[in-house]
Structure 1
Amino acid sequence: MKRNYKIGLVMKSLQADFFQVMKEGAIQYAAPLPFLDLVCVGTATQTEVMEQIDLMYSLIDRQVDAIVLVPIDSKALVQPVVEAARKGIPVINIDIRLDARLLEQAGVEVAFVGPDNFTAAYGVGKLLSKKLQVRDEVAIIEGLAVADNAQQRKKGFLRAIEEKGLQLVASEPADWETSKAAEVFQTLWTRHPDLKAVYCSNDAMALGVLGQMQQKGRYLPVVGFDNDAVMKEFLSTGKLVATVDIFSSQMAVRGIEFALDVLEGRAENRGEHSTAYSIIAC
């Protein structure tokens, strides 16, 4: 390396298993590298947009060399990204894509490093659809509506649902949170007692849905997303049909590596750089 670098990794919901794994993987990667000072920060929950914006401006004020960002809100986080770019701090966007139109309007390019959420959700959704009959009633538990990955996962599920000829009777956001998913699902299951399956946009929400099923002593087929460790038991018993591993720690490392490549002049901060995913079935 030409010199030492300080890189900020901005995440969300550090209480969530997915981001705990991401943080630990990034720290392990950086630990043996004497030229890299990695600063890991994140919000407490999945919805603290203003808090995440403040974290971005704090890193800008600290004059870090680059930032690797998982945005909570694909639009709201564009402005601090633009401010960073104007101060010569490259931002590498990982996991949840920033709003391309707003970036273009600001004249700022950033690389995106992450999975194809649409294709992954479509794939796991097809596994669930195979267990159902035409016209069966199904529901989607969505992530945070302002996040691009939530939108892409919903679209992937919808394609699988439409191809099978299923009847979507509810599609409601639970903002990635277990407790909110439990509340949302309790209400919609009461409203739609003939429901046959549930497509969940992450495992944390699937956990809330399965908790409600456990209370009733009646399980419907469910799929999730993220391959959180807590879901292994549900996969092993077949209560969770499938989930998707998008390898959060590896994604963070790839983002950091890309930031170093940009700083060293080996890459330009632009383009889409796909990361791996794997469908894990029971």
Structure 2
Amino acid sequence: MATNRPPGDGSSSDNDSFGRQVPESVIEAQQLVRTHSKMERRKLLRYLGVGTVALAAGGAVLSQISREDPSAVAAAMNDLGDGLKMLGTNGALTVSWYAQGKDTMQHWCDIFGIELTWIDGQGDGNKQRASLDSAANRNWDLAGVTPATAGTIVDPVNTMAANGTGVFEMTSNIGGPDDRVNTLSSITQSSYLMGYQVGKLLFDSVGGRGTVINTRGVPGGSDEAGRYEGFHAALKEYPGMQLLTEDFARWDRSRAQDLWQSYLTRFPDISVAYCQNDDMAFGAMNAIDAAGRTGIKIGGADGMPDAIKAVQDGRMLATVRHSSCQIHSLPVILGVAWKLGALDGDIPPKIDVLGPVVQKDNAASVAFMQGPGVLYA
């Protein structure tokens, strides 16, 4: 899109407030922001860049490019997804990580003007399947999907993809080992590293000698399997650590608390509690506190706000940030760019996001980056 005047003609509007020459591309971007015509949505997104949009957290950064009307930026971003419909679903909103994911996807859909419909997996693959079966043939532009149970929702997901929906798999495998699932991309994070890194910290905290219990999530998913493998890889490096038992609590705080009440009766000496997510870690912590037991080192995963505070307070040794915000925002951000044809090349079949181990020294920064108004890390 051409500007109404040649670049560098000496007019004050071609210079910023410090008198510096404004590049032609920025002048054109300013013009696009001011008009935000639907015809120019693709070009606007190309100028701004998907990464810039993601980092803008709702447009605060982008407002810097519109000197005449900063408020036009929010309108321009909202116009990018105008008329698009998106379906979102994940494991169970009773799990804090999944609930934060839904809030994040809604946040970014609101920014882009996308209509989001949400299906709660309710921790039950059959219920999630029934809801998706009835929704699969509706007119969806985009979908972000995490299965409650691997292998149960392959057919409705493939139906959506066949109808032209851009489907993003989020964090855990939709299909089983022999299933073919038609997705644009799988947005995930290394669960193996989550189990390995926190496991090593826990074992080091007791000098590599003691006993440990592993509390697991939902069987069959790649996120649970990865954490299990990472934890056991770490355990092999510490011959002085004895694994007492491991059971599935299905990511659920109450189930974990019930399991740990029985463990504390069965095992008089427990050195370390490794839980595959923070909700289960709090279930274990509640049981430990109620039993009056002390000295058990607790580690989790997901890096949720209450777990970060527990790390800061010394109630948990460590957690690791499993970036719900990135995993649930990227299907929106990349999906809009894909629909507008604003990406150079295809979206990779797998996109890895990163999350740090959370200890006292970095807890505040991790909490900030997933806080209200940011919802980025």
Fold shared, TM-score > 0.5 on shorter chain: yes
Q: Distance in 2 between matches of 1:33 and 1:234?
A: 35
- Tell whether 2:272 aligns with 1:197: yes
* Matching of residues 225-264 of structure 1 within 5 Å: 225-264=301-340
* Matching of residues 1-282 of structure 1 within 5 Å: 1=41, 4-34=83-113, 36-43=114-121, 45=122, 47-99=123-175, 101-104=177-180, 108-165=182-239, 166-219=241-294, 220-265=296-341, 266=343, 268=346, 271-282=349-360
Q: Distance in 1 between matches of 2:190 and 2:301?
A: 13
Contact 1:92/1:258 (CA < 8 Å) preserved in 2?
no
Greater relative contact order (Cα < 8 A, sep 6+) = 1
Q: Distance in 1 between matches of 2:161 and 2:179?
A: 11
User: In the TM superposition, what whole-angstrom CA distance separates every residue of 1:112-133 from its partner, at most 9, and x where no partner exists?
Assistant: 1021111122112111111124
Contact 1:17/1:229 (CA < 8 Å) preserved in 2?
no
Could you say if the C-alpha distance between residues 102 and 111 of structure 1 is closer, same or farther in structure 2, counting changes exceeding 3 Å?
A: farther
SS in 1 for 2:237: helix
Q: Distance in 2 between matches of 1:128 and 1:194?
A: 16
**Given residue 210 of structure 2, which amino acid in structure 1 is its aligned partner?**
D
Q: Distance in 1 between matches of 2:355 and 2:223?
A: 14
**Given residue 40 of structure 1, which amino acid in structure 2 is its aligned partner?**
W
The Cα shift of 1:247 comes to 2.3
Contact 2:260/2:288 (CA < 8 Å) preserved in 1?
no
Q: Which runs of 5+ in 2 are unaligned?
A: 1-40, 43-81, 361-377
The Cα shift of 1:270 comes to 5.2
Q: Distance in 1 between matches of 2:142 and 2:112?
A: 16
User: In the TM superposition, what whole-angstrom CA distance separates every residue of 1:124-160 from its partner, at most 9, and x where no partner exists?
Assistant: 2111111124452111000011222011111111111
Q: Give the stretch that moved more between structures: 194-203 or 265-274.
A: 265-274
The Cα shift of 1:233 comes to 4.0
Q: Percent identity?
A: 21
Contact 2:312/2:359 (CA < 8 Å) preserved in 1?
no
Q: Distance in 2 between matches of 1:77 and 1:199?
A: 30
**Given residue 115 of structure 2, which amino acid in structure 1 is its aligned partner?**
D
Q: Which has the higher strand share?
A: 1
Q: Tell me which stretches of 4 or more aligned residues in structure 1 moved more than 6 Å.
A: none
Q: Which runs of 5+ in 1 are unaligned?
A: none
Q: Distance in 1 between matches of 2:346 and 2:115?
A: 22
Q: Distance in 1 between matches of 2:321 and 2:131?
A: 27
Could you say if the C-alpha distance between residues 269 and 75 of structure 1 is closer, same or farther in structure 2, counting changes exceeding 3 Å?
A: farther
Could you say if the C-alpha distance between residues 60 and 174 of structure 1 is closer, same or farther in structure 2, counting changes exceeding 3 Å?
A: same
TM-score under structure 1 normalisation?
A: 0.89
Let me know the Cα RMSD of the aligned residues: 2.1
**Given residue 298 of structure 2, which amino acid in structure 1 is its aligned partner?**
V
Q: Give the stretch that moved more between structures: 212-221 or 90-99.
A: 90-99
The Cα shift of 1:27 comes to 1.8
**Given residue 323 of structure 2, which amino acid in structure 1 is its aligned partner?**
F
Q: Distance in 2 between matches of 1:233 and 1:214?
A: 17
